[in-house]
Amino acid sequence: MNQERVALVTGSATGIGRATAWRLAERGFAVTINYSKSKEDAEETADGVRTRGAKALLFPANVADDSAVRAMIERTVEEFGGLNVLVNNAATTYFIPHDDLDGLTDQVWEDILNVNLKGTFFGCRAAMPHLKTRRGNIVNIASVAGVAGSGSSIAYAASKGAVITLTKSLARAFAPEVRVNAVAPGPVQTRWLADHQDMVEQAMKLTPLKRPATADDVADVALFLADGTSLMTGQVLVVDGGRTI
């Protein structure tokens, strides 16, 4: 009897997380939908998973809370029998000009690093035993901010650069049982940037393909890393329309 393939996508109420959850559902994965505040949006994501013929589990958790993340992983395994794919997508930021160093308060650093870096690590740590059992994989959603030092704030760029390093370290440590890769999008046209179109327009001036990424663009690459290849690990795929060539 074949095991049901299972994925967990953090921050999947909207945007990249939702698009990725739906892509995985289309491939036959049962999906755990994680959210922190957006319950109604998360329910819409879960409905979309089900209409694609897959099972869905909703789990509210702030990924910065290690105990909540551990409970979410365990609940997923109890519900579906195991875990094949973890997509660490949950993130937060503050929009602070890079020359405003005083704007990078202790609270800003703590908020961003707790979610973007520690939250990603907590997910990886809790999921790793289950992923090893099924020779599964992790896809971390990083950012070109972590490659180029750009983005909404220096703290955000630093957190995503750290996620890229974390990805490579885990890939070395847990091969060959578990693959670990990352996607590094440029500006993505989601509600995250709805009030910052000036940033998007400025970035497009330096982008050969002249358009920002969509959530589906990023989800397509995340799906490829999760289910379209078996010989990639420790890699960071940039999805930015050529901006960082």
Write out the DSSP string of 56-78. Answer: EEEEE--TT-HHHHHHHHHHHHH
Q: Distance between CA atoms of 90 and 49, rounded to whole angstroms?
A: 18
Q: Compute mean pLDDT per 10 residues along the chain, 245 residues long, and list them.
A: 89 97 98 96 98 98 98 98 98 97 98 98 98 98 96 97 98 98 90 67 85 94 98 97 92
236-239 and 85-88 strand pairing: unpaired
- Where do the domains of the chain lie, and which CATH numbers do they carry? 6-239 (3.40.50.720)
Which ranges of the chain would DSSP assign to H, the alpha helix? Answer: 15-26, 39-51, 66-80, 106-112, 119-134, 145-148, 154-174, 197-204, 215-223
The token pair that represents 236 in the structure block: 């960071």
Q: Is residue 214 within 8 Å of 161, Cβ to Cβ?
A: no
Catalytic positions, please? 156
Q: Distance between CA atoms of 18 and 23, rounded to whole angstroms?
A: 9
pLDDT at 111: 98
Q: Which residue has the tokens 């220096």?
A: 154
Q: Is residue 37 within 8 Å of 11, Cβ to Cβ?
A: no
For residue 114, give Cα distances in angstroms to 50, 121, 162, 179, 191: 32, 10, 12, 24, 22
pLDDT at 20: 98
Instruction: State pTM to two decimals.
Output: 0.96
The candidate with the shortest Cα–Cα distance to 91, out of 127, 117, 61, is: 117
